[in-house]
């Protein structure tokens, strides 16, 4: 059984009394330990698909089995529980809390997961050290560079040991040097810590780091290829 199994996933929104189909029947399997890039033109449905994969949104129809569990018909509370235990997110624009230290930002998902304070702090320190921010734990987001803020966001995504990490345009606002740094970090998370990584990007240079590239066009999978790097 695959880690992720989507069957005939449809997402539609009501528009002028009609249903506008955004995802038109996606069939997709992703195995444990894969590193996948999702590409495609603006409006092709990448974020919509990511939100469904990440249990942030439900499909209109179709089935989604995540790690052996049927999730497409779960309640909002059940989905939140799955997200807390299994999923980490790196959002575009970082989503860090302002006027809050890097350390506290990284502790946040563990606050939601009711991890005791002492353990929380230790894990957050370890995660920030791993992303090279040992010397910046007490800085607030405004006191960090874009790449450093992004690394805080990644530390926060991995700190509850989520086996699956979702990232939507994780290098969106970064220069080339910072982007390379971030992608090396994802590669290490994938290769050394065996985390499954699914990221959205519109840049070929970024997608190159993934081992599989899925292209969406107009709500459908247009191509699904192993990266030639292998
Ligand atoms: N809540 C909504 N109601 C109606 N239409 C929506 C809604 N959310 C998204 N859409 C439409 O769904 C389509 C796909 O949106 P989505 O955000 O998934 O695109 P994307 O591939 O991530 O694009 P981008 O590269 O610009 O981020 C768009 O045409 C968008 O207008
Ligand atoms: Mg998008």
Instruction: Specify burial of residue 127 (Cβ count, 10 A radius: 0-12, 13-18, 19+).
Output: buried
Note the ligand closest to the C-alpha atom of 26: 1
Assess whether the C-beta atom of 142 lies below 6 angstroms from ligand 1: no
SS3 182: helix
Check: CB of residue 205 under 8 Å from CB of residue 174.
no
Assess whether the C-beta atom of 215 lies below 6 angstroms from ligand 1: no
Per-residue pLDDT tens digits of the chain, which is 230 residues long: 899 999 999 999 999 889 999 999 999 999 999 999 999 999 999 999 999 999 999 999 999 999 999 999 999 999 999 998 899 988 766 689 999 999 999 999 888 888 999 999 999 999 999 888 999 999 999 999 888 998 899 899 888 788 999 999 888 877 888 888 889 989 999 999 899 999 999 999 999 999 999 999 999 999 999 986 55
Assess whether the C-beta atom of 44 lies below 6 angstroms from ligand 1: yes
Assess whether the C-beta atom of 219 lies below 6 angstroms from ligand 1: no
Tell the CATH topology of 4-226. Rossmann fold (3.40.50)
Q: What is the pLDDT of residue 94?
A: 65
> Which residue carries 């998370």 as its tokens?
189
Which is the closest atom of ligand 1 to the Cα of 50?
Answer: 18
Instruction: Specify burial of residue 107 (Cβ count, 10 A radius: 0-12, 13-18, 19+).
Output: buried
What Cα–Cα distance (Å) separates residue 118 from each residue in 10, 93, 129? Answer: 44, 29, 17
First and final C-alpha spacing in the chain: 23
| Distance from the alpha carbon of residue 140 to the mean position of ligand 1, in angstroms | 32
- Return the exposure string of 114-124: e unless at least 16 CB atoms fall within 10 Å of the residue's CB, then b: ebeeeebbebb
Q: What is the pLDDT of residue 175?
A: 82
Segments making up each domain of the chain, as ranges: 4-226
Q: What is the pLDDT of residue 162?
A: 87
Q: What is the pLDDT of residue 64?
A: 98
Q: What is the pLDDT of residue 161?
A: 81
Q: What is the pLDDT of residue 105?
A: 95
Ligand 1 mutation target, pool 48, 199, 203, 220, most atoms within 8 A of CB = 48
Assess whether the C-beta atom of 201 lies below 6 angstroms from ligand 1: no
Note the ligand closest to the C-alpha atom of 51: 1
- CA-closest candidate to residue 46, choices 227, 218, 223: 218
Q: What is the pLDDT of residue 130?
A: 83
Atom 8, ligand 1: which residue's CA is nearest?
48
């Amino acid at each position: 059984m695959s880690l992720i199994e989507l069957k005939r996933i449809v997402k539609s929104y009501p528009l002028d009394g009609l249903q506008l189909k955004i995802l038109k029947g996606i069939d997709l399997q992703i195995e444990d330990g894969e590193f996948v890039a999702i590409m495609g033109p603006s409006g092709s449905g990448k974020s919509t698909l990511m939100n469904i994969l990440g249990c942030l949104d439900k499909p209109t129809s179709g089935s989604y089995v995540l790690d052996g569990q049927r999730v497409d018909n779960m309640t909002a509370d059940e989905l939140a529980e799955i997200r807390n235990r299994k999923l980490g997110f790196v959002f575009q624009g970082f989503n860090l809390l302002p006027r809050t230290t890097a350390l506290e930002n990284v502790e946040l998902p563990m606050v939601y997961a009711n991890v005791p304070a002492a353990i929380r702090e230790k894990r957050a320190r370890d995660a920030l050290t791993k992303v090279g921010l040992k010397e910046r734990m007490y800085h607030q987001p405004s006191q960090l560079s874009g790449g450093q803020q992004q690394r805080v966001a990644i530390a926060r995504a991995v700190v509850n040991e989520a086996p699956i990490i979702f990232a939507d345009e994780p290098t969106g606002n970064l220069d080339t040097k910072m982007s390379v740094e971030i992608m090396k970090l994802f590669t290490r998370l994938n290769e050394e810590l065996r985390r499954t990584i699914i990221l959205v990007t519109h840049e070929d240079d970024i997608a190159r780091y993934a081992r599989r590239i899925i292209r969406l066009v107009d709500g459908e999978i247009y191509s699904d290829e192993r990266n030639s790097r292998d």
